[in-house]
C-alpha cells in the first residue's frame, strides 16, 4: 500500500508539472501574439504616408483595446457557447471561470486554465480586426472604422470561429472520408475573416485620391521602409506564438515541428515574392519580399502541424507568387489596398486553407472539397455581414474623410500632431 501511495504521489506530481508547463507555454504564446499588434502598427505606419502616421498608430493602438474588451463582453461566449445548434449559440455576457470549492477549476481542460484560454483566443480576435485597418488606411473615418471593428469583433468573428473551434457545423462537416474542416491556427478563421472585411471595405470606401489616374497606378511613398521591415520581423516572431500556441500544449515534438514549418514557409515566401516582384516590376522589390514573408506565414497557418518541412517550403513558395499576382490584380480592378492586406491575408489565407487538402498528412480530394466548401461558406457570411455593416455606416455616419483632410493629412486635422516633425 505504501508503494502504491508513493507511485500515486509521483504521478500526481508529474501531472501537476505537465499542467504548469503547458499553461506556461500558452501564456508565453499569448504574449507573442500580443506583440504582433506592434508588428501590424509598424508595417502599416511604415508603408503609408507620413501625413497619416499618427492616425494609423492611433487605430492600431485602440484596435486591440476594443478587441479584448468586446471579446470579454460577448465574443468568447459566442465563439465557445458549449452545446448549441452548430450555427449560433451564446453562453452569456461576460467571462467567468469555472470554480471548484472556491478555487479555479484546473480540470477545465487538460493543458491550461480558463483565463489562459480566454486571453489567448482574445488576442486572435483582435488580430482579425487589425487586418482591416491597413487596407482602408489614409481615407477611412476613425468613428466609422471603430464602429465597424466593435461590431465585427463582437459578433462576426466569434460566430465564424464557433463553426469550427467552438464545435460547430464545420468541425463535423464531412465529404467522403474527410473528417471535417481543418484550420489549425486560422488561415480562414482569422486571416480570411479579416481579409474578406478588408476587401469589402476598400471596395465601398474607394481608392485614395490620385491612386489611379490616367490609366496608371501611382505609388505613394511610405513613411519608413526600416519601420516596415521591423514590423514584418515582429510579426514573424509573433507567429511562433500564433502557430506554436495553437498546438494548445507544450508537446516538444508538435511545437518544434510547427516552428520549423512556419519558418520555412516564411523563408520561401519571401524569396519567391521578391523574385516574382522583380520579374513583374523590373526592379528588386523589397515590399514584395516583405509581403512574401507574410504570405508564407499565412499560407502555412491552416496546416502547420500537418505538413512536412518540404511541404511547407512549397506552400510558402506558392503563396509568394500569389501575393504578388493578387496585388497586381487588385490594382487592375482599382481596389486600393494600402499595405497589401487583402493579398496577404485573404488570397493566401484561402490558398493555405485549400493546401490542407493538397499537401501533408490530410491531403486528398475529399479533404480538399471540405476545405473548399468551408472557404466558400465563411467567405459568403463575411462578405454579406461586412457589406451590411460598412454600407449602413456609409449612408449614416460616413466612412470616408472629406477630400481636404485626405489631401492635407489626417494627423494635423484629427489629432493635432504629426508623426514626424523636423525642427531646424
pLDDT tens figures, 52-67: 999 999 999 999 999 9
* Mean per-residue pLDDT, 306-332: 97
pLDDT at position 6: 52
Least confident interval from 12-21, 37-46, 132-141: 12-21
Asked which of 163-177, 208-222, 247-261, 270-284 is least confident by mean pLDDT, the reply is 208-222
Which whole number is the average pLDDT over 390-410? 94
Percent of the chain with pLDDT over 70: 96
What residues pair up with 103 in beta bridges, in sequence order? 100
pLDDT at 416 over 80: yes
Residue 232 near residue 296, CB atoms below 8 Å: no
Q: Angle CA(54)–CA(335)–CA(388) in degrees, nearest 5?
A: 85
Residues sharing a CB contact under 8 Å with residue 1, sequence separation 6 or more, in sequence order: none
How many Å apart are CA 60 and CA 54, to the nearest integer? Answer: 10
Question: What pLDDT is recorded for position 109?
Answer: 78
Q: What is the pLDDT of residues 6-38, one digit of tens each?
A: 555 455 555 678 888 999 999 999 999 999 999
Q: Is the pLDDT of residue 105 over 90?
A: no
Distance CA 51, CA 354 (A): 39
Cβ partners under 8 Å of residue 322, min gap 6: 295, 299, 343, 347, 348, 351
Burial class (CB in 10 A: 0-12, 13-18, 19+), 410: buried
Q: What was the pLDDT predicted at 9?
A: 45
* pLDDT score recorded for residue 128: 86
**The pLDDT of residue 424 is above 50:** no
Strand partners, 217: 212
* 240 or 5: which leads in pLDDT: 240
| Residue 8 burial class via C-beta count within 10 angstroms: exposed 0-12, middle 13-18, buried 19 and up | exposed
Q: What is the pTM of this model?
A: 0.93
Residue 207 is classified by DSSP as P
Would you state the pLDDT for residue 111?
83
DSSP reduced 3-state for 91: coil
Encode pLDDT of 145-178 as tens digits. 999 999 999 999 999 999 999 999 999 999 998 9
Query: pLDDT of 350-361, one tens digit each?
Result: 999 999 999 999
Is 353 in contact with 319 (CB distance < 8 Å)?
A: no
**What percent of the chain stands above pLDDT 90?**
83
Distance CA 181, CA 171 (A): 5
| DSSP code of residue 304 | T
Task: Return the CATH class of domain 2-95+112-415.
Answer: mainly alpha
Q: Where are the domains of the chain?
A: 2-95+112-415
Q: Average the pLDDT over each of 15-19, 177-181, 307-311 and give the range with the smallest value.
A: 15-19
Average pLDDT value for the chain: 92
Question: pLDDT tens digit string along 333-381?
Answer: 999 999 999 999 999 999 999 999 999 999 999 999 999 999 999 999 9
Nearest partner of 191 among 120, 239, 230, 140, judged by Cα: 239
- Region 235-243 average pLDDT: 98
**Gap between the Cα atoms of 37 and 43, Å rounded:** 10
pLDDT score for 131: 93
- d(CA 390, CA 147) in angstroms, rounded, equals 9
Amino acid at each position: 500500500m505504501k508503494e502504491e501511495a508513493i507511485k500515486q504521489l509521483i504521478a500526481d506530481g508529474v501531472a501537476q508539472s505537465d499542467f504548469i508547463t503547458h499553461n506556461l507555454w500558452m501564456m508565453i504564446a499569448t504574449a507573442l501574439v500580443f506583440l504582433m499588434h506592434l508588428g501590424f502598427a509598424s508595417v502599416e505606419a511604415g508603408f503609408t504616408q507620413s501625413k497619416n502616421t499618427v492616425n494609423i498608430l492611433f487605430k492600431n493602438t485602440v484596435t486591440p483595446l476594443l478587441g479584448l474588451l468586446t471579446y470579454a463582453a460577448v465574443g468568447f461566449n459566442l465563439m465557445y457557447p458549449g452545446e448549441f445548434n452548430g450555427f449560433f449559440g451564446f453562453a452569456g455576457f461576460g467571462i467567468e471561470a469555472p470554480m471548484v470549492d472556491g478555487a479555479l477549476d484546473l480540470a477545465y481542460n487538460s493543458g491550461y486554465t480558463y483565463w489562459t484560454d480566454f486571453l489567448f483566443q482574445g488576442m486572435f480576435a483582435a488580430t482579425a480586426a487589425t487586418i482591416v485597418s491597413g487596407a482602408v488606411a489614409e481615407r477611412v473615418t476613425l468613428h466609422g472604422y471603430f464602429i465597424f471593428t466593435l461590431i465585427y469583433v463582437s459578433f462576426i468573428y466569434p460566430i465564424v470561429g464557433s463553426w469550427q473551434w467552438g464545435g460547430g457545423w464545420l468541425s463535423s462537416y464531412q465529404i467522403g472520408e474527410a473528417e471535417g474542416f481543418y484550420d489549425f491556427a486560422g488561415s480562414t478563421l482569422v486571416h480570411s475573416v479579416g481579409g474578406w472585411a478588408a476587401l469589402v471595405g476598400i471596395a465601398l470606401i474607394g481608392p485614395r485620391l490620385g491612386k489611379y489616374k490616367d490609366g496608371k497606378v501611382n505609388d505613394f511613398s511610405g513613411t519608413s521602409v526600416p519601420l516596415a521591415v521591423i514590423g514584418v520581423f515582429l510579426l514573424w516572431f509573433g507567429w511562433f506564438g500564433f502557430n506554436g500556441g495553437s498546438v494548445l500544449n507544450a508537446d516538444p515534438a508538435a511545437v518544434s515541428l510547427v516552428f520549423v514549418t512556419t519558418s520555412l514557409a516564411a523563408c520561401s515566401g519571401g524569396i519567391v515574392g521578391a523574385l516574382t516582384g522583380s520579374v513583374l516590376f523590373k526592379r528588386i522589390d523589397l515590399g514584395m519580399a516583405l509581403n512574401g514573408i507574410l504570405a508564407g506565414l499565412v499560407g502555412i497557418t491552416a496546416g502547420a502541424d500537418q505538413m512536412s518541412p518540404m511541404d511547407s517550403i512549397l506552400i510558402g513558395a506558392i503563396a509568394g507568387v500569389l501575393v504578388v499576382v493578387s496585388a497586381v490584380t487588385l490594382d487592375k480592378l482599382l481596389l486600393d489596398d494600402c499595405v497589401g492586406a487583402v493579398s496577404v491575408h485573404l488570397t493566401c489565407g484561402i490558398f493555405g486553407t485549400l493546401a490542407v487538402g493538397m499537401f501533408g498528412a490530410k491531403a486528398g480530394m475529399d479533404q480538399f472539397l471540405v476545405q473548399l466548401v468551408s472557404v466558400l461558406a465563411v467567405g459568403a457570411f463575411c462578405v454579406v455581414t461586412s457589406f451590411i455593416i460598412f454600407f449602413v455606416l456609409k449612408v449614416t455616419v460616413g466612412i470616408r474623410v472629406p477630400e481636404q483632410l485626405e489631401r492635407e493629412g489626417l494627423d494635423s486635422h484629427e489629432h493635432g500632431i504629426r508623426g514626424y516633425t523636423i525642427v531646424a
